C-alpha cells in the first residue's frame, strides 16, 4: 500500500496500454492512494475489520468515479479482499488468483512465498494458492524477520540496498534447495529489489502480473 509500489503499478499499467495500443495511448484510470501509516497501524494492532472498511470506502469512491474494475495494489491487504468485493458491484481482480494462474501456467506445483510477515505467516494467501493446487513454502522464522523488516524499514520508504538484495538472494537460494520450484514476490514493493536474475528458479512478480491482468481486463472490456 505504499506509494512506492503504487507508482510502480501506475507505470506498468500505462506502459501495458501503450505497448498494446501504440502511439500516444495511456491508461484511463482512477487511483485511490491511502495513508500507509494508518494502514500499517491497523495491521500491527490486528484491526483488520477497520482496515477492510477503510479500503471498501476507497473502492466505493473509485466506482463512483467510473472505475469498471478494482485492483487492490497490495498482497497483504488481500486478507480483507472479501470486504471490498462485497462493497462494490464491479469485479475485484484478485492478486492471488492472477499469481496462482501464472504458476499453474508454468507447470509448477510448489513455490516459495516472500512477503510481509502477515502474508507469510497467516493462511489467507497460502489457502487460496492451495485451491489452485499450488503448495506454498515460506522462509524459516529468522528469514521471515529479514524479509519483513526489509519491506517495512527500507522498501516502503524508497531504500533499495545491495545488502538487502544479497540477503534475499540467500533466502531464495535456500528455499530453492529445499524444493521450491519458483518464488512468488508476494509483496508489491519486493519488485523494487528482486528480479529474475536474483533467483535460480522462476520468479513470479505479483505486481507485474497484477498490472498486466488489469490491462487485459480494461482492453477486453473496451
Residues annotated catalytic, as ranges: 74, 187
User: In whole angstroms, what is the distance from residue 188 CA to residue 193 CA?
Assistant: 10
Residues facing residue 205 across a β-bridge: 185
Say how far apart CA 65 and CA 118 lie, in whole Å.
31
User: What is the Rg, in whole angstroms, of the alpha carbon atoms belonging to the chain?
Assistant: 17
Could you give the CA distance from residue 187 to residue 73 in angstroms, rounded to a whole number?
Answer: 9
Q: How far apart are the first and last CA of the chain?
A: 28
Q: Check: CB of residue 93 under 8 Å from CB of residue 212.
A: no
For the chain, the residue count is 222
Contact in structure between 99 and 209 (CB atoms under 8 Å): yes
Residue ranges of E strands in the chain? 110-114, 135-137, 182-185, 203-205
Give CA 88 to chain center in angstroms: 21
Longest alpha-carbon distance in the chain: 49
Amino acid at each position: 500500500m505504499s506509494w512506492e509500489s503504487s507508482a510502480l503499478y501506475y507505470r506498468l499499467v500505462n506502459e501495458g496500454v501503450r505497448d498494446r495500443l501504440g502511439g500516444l495511448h495511456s491508461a484511463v484510470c482512477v487511483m485511490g492512494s491511502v495513508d500507509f501509516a494508518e494502514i500499517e497501524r491497523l495491521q500491527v494492532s490486528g484491526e483488520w475489520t477497520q482496515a477492510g472498511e477503510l479500503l471498501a470506502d476507497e473502492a466505493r469512491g473509485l466506482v463512483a468515479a467510473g472505475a469498471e474494475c478494482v485492483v487492490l495494489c497490495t498482497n497483504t491487504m488481500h486478507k480483507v479482499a472479501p470486504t471490498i468485493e462485497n462493497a462494490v458491484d464491479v469485479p475485484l481482480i484478485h492478486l492471488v488468483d492472477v499469481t496462482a494462474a501464472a504458476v499453474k501456467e508454468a507447470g509448477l506445483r510448489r513455490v516459495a512465498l516472500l512477503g510481509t510477515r502477515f502474508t507469510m505467516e497467516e493462511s489467507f494467501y497460502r489457502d487460496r494458492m492451495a485451491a489452485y493446487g499450488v503448495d506454498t513454502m515460506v522462509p524459516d522464522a529468522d528469514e521471515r524477520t529479514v524479509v519483513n523488516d526489509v519491506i517495512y524499514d527500507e522498501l516502503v520508504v524508497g531504500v533499495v540496498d545491495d545488502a538487502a538484495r544479497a540477503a534475499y538472494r540467500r533466502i531464495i537460494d535456500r528455499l530453492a534447495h529445499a524444493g521450491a520450484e519458483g518464488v512468488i514476490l508476494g509483496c508489491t514493493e519486493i519488485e523494487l529489489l528482486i528480479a529474475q536474475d536474483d533467483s535460480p528458479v522462476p520468479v513470479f512478480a505479483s505486481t507485474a502480473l497484477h498490472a498486466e491482468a488489469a490491462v487485459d481486463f480494461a482492453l477486453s472490456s473496451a
